[in-house]
Amino acid sequence: MSKLFDQLSIREVTIPNRVWMSPMCTYSANPEPGEAGKPTDFHLAHYASRAAGGAGLVVLEATAVAHVGAISPWDLGLWSNDHIEPHKRLADAIHANGAIAGVQLAHAGRKASTDLPWQGGGYVSPETLGWQPVGPSPVEFPGMPAPEELSLENIREVVQQFADAAVRADKAGFDVVEIHAAHGYLLHNFLSPISNKRTDAYGGSLENRARIVLEVIDAIRAVWPESKPVFMRLSMTDWVEENPADDRKSWTMDQSAQLVKWASERGVDLIDASTGGLDIVPIPHDKDYQTAKATELRARTAVATAAVGRIDDVETADTLVSSGDVDAVFLGRPLLKNPSWVNQAAEQLGAQPRFIQQYAYAL
């Protein structure tokens, strides 16, 4: 029996199925002062159509908790109260089209202030639309400037910015917030000894490198309704210690398993299990390169987990969930290619597609 279209209830939120839209930057906000960070009609159509297409949960792209925390000047943001109303339009449209609405709260750290990917994605300097990136230590990502090291006071501000953004996400009507602790952005910069060289309470031991992440979780849980889930996207590995030719100490599966247990104790309900992004290193090409690690993480921690990455056919999605290996799957590029992917999967598996009358009678 397929479980892909079973509901999933977490706290008081019921997600209608287990196939979800993965957060993906669209680089489509207007970067001008006063407009930066605000969703537009493009975002409305983009997210509403994936909801109508059957996704159980639609998680908005990396949405910056501070302007310097945007990946690019074209990102969405929740760093100001002016962002609440336009985000509410998106949450309302996602709900009206049958899905649960989530938003990924992000700070890009040492990989902030980059150009449009279709224009090369390089560093955008303060002389044009950009800014100086920040991080735990002045250790640069290849091709980017060295980040400015955050002081202890700055770290407190960042934690507060995540909490303030969660308050705005709640006011905008989102049901789920996802903390972005993956892909080489700020929280991952603290986790990995490659980018974190601090000698204070935020560097060194695993407890110290994880400190800011746990503080962010606590700060969000203190303001985010208890009835609503908190997810965390985590890179389970930097893909460095898997490479025998690379002898650097890095972020690994063992450390991830420990962090996930701590995160769960503090009120994170589900791990969105990704990998990589901290450095430019070789990664495996196998179809299950990442989903196998998600399965392993779930088995080791017993914390609810969603798999993501190269899940582009119905059988793979169905096997991952129906086996009980993971609780749900996130799809990225397949939903860019085909907004109705989830409805088509439902039809194939004998489940009920969303808006069946509007579409199915005509086909």
In the complex with ligand FMN, which residue's Cβ is closer, 121 or 204? 121
In the complex with ligand FMN, which residue's Cβ is closer, 45 or 201? 45
Say whether residue 62 binds ligand FMN (CB under 6 A).
yes
Smallest gap, in angstroms, from Cβ of residue 311 to ligand FMN? 6
Stretch that binds ligand FMN, among 39-47, 143-151, 309-317, 354-362 (CB under 6 A): 309-317
Interior CA angle at 305 toward 16 and 212, to 5°? 120
DSSP bridge pairs for 331: 21
Q: Cα–Cα distance between 238 and 331 in angstroms, integer?
A: 21
DSSP bridge pairs for 231: 178, 270
One of 39, 334, 339, 353 touching ligand FMN (CB under 6 A): 334
Say whether residue 197 binds ligand FMN (CB under 6 A).
no
Question: Quick one: DSSP state of residue 27?
Answer: -
Say whether residue 332 binds ligand FMN (CB under 6 A).
yes
- Choosing from 47, 185, 202, 289, the catalytic residue is 185
Smallest gap, in angstroms, from Cβ of residue 62 to ligand FMN? 3
Stretch that binds ligand FMN, among 206-214, 239-247, 326-334, 354-362 (CB under 6 A): 326-334
Q: At what angle do helices 206-223 and 253-265 cross, to 10 degrees?
A: 30
One of 67, 83, 107, 310 touching ligand FMN (CB under 6 A): 310
One of 134, 163, 331, 342 touching ligand FMN (CB under 6 A): 331
Smallest gap, in angstroms, from Cβ of residue 49 to ligand FMN? 16
Respond yes or no: is residue 47 known to be catalytic: no
Say whether residue 339 binds ligand FMN (CB under 6 A).
no
Smallest gap, in angstroms, from Cβ of residue 272 to ligand FMN? 7
Q: Cα–Cα distance between 197 and 190 in angstroms, integer?
A: 9
Say whether residue 233 binds ligand FMN (CB under 6 A).
yes
Task: Report the residue closest to ligand FMN, judged by CB.
Answer: 332
**C-beta of residue 143 within 8 angstroms of C-beta of residue 115:** no
Q: Which residues between 74 and 113 bind ligand FMN (CB under 6 A)?
A: 104
Smallest gap, in angstroms, from Cβ of residue 296 to ligand FMN? 17
The residue among 349, 350, 304 whose CA lies nearest residue 330 is 304
**C-beta of residue 325 within 8 angstroms of C-beta of residue 8:** no
Provide the mask over 117-156, with x wherever binding to ligand FMN is found by CB under 6 A and - wherever it is not. ----------------------------------------
Q: Supply the DSSP string of 245-300, one letter for each residue.
A: T-------HHHHHHHHHHHHHTT--EEEEE---SS-------TTTTHHHHHHHHHH
In the complex with ligand FMN, which residue's Cβ is closer, 156 or 287? 287
Q: Cα–Cα distance between 199 and 363 in angstroms, integer?
A: 63
Q: Cα–Cα distance between 6 and 14 in angstroms, integer?
A: 10
The residue among 153, 146, 121, 120 whose CA lies nearest residue 132 is 146
Q: Cα–Cα distance between 52 and 237 in angstroms, integer?
A: 34
One of 180, 211, 228, 293 touching ligand FMN (CB under 6 A): 180
φ and ψ of 59, to 5 deg? -105, 120
Tokens standing for residue 147: 């980040």
Q: At what angle do helices 84-96 and 152-171 cross, to 10 degrees?
A: 50
Q: Which residues between 4 and 33 bind ligand FMN (CB under 6 A)?
A: 22-25
Residues at the contact surface with ligand FMN, assessed by CB under 6 A: 22-25, 61-62, 104, 180, 182-183, 233, 274, 308-311, 331-334
Catalytic residues: 185
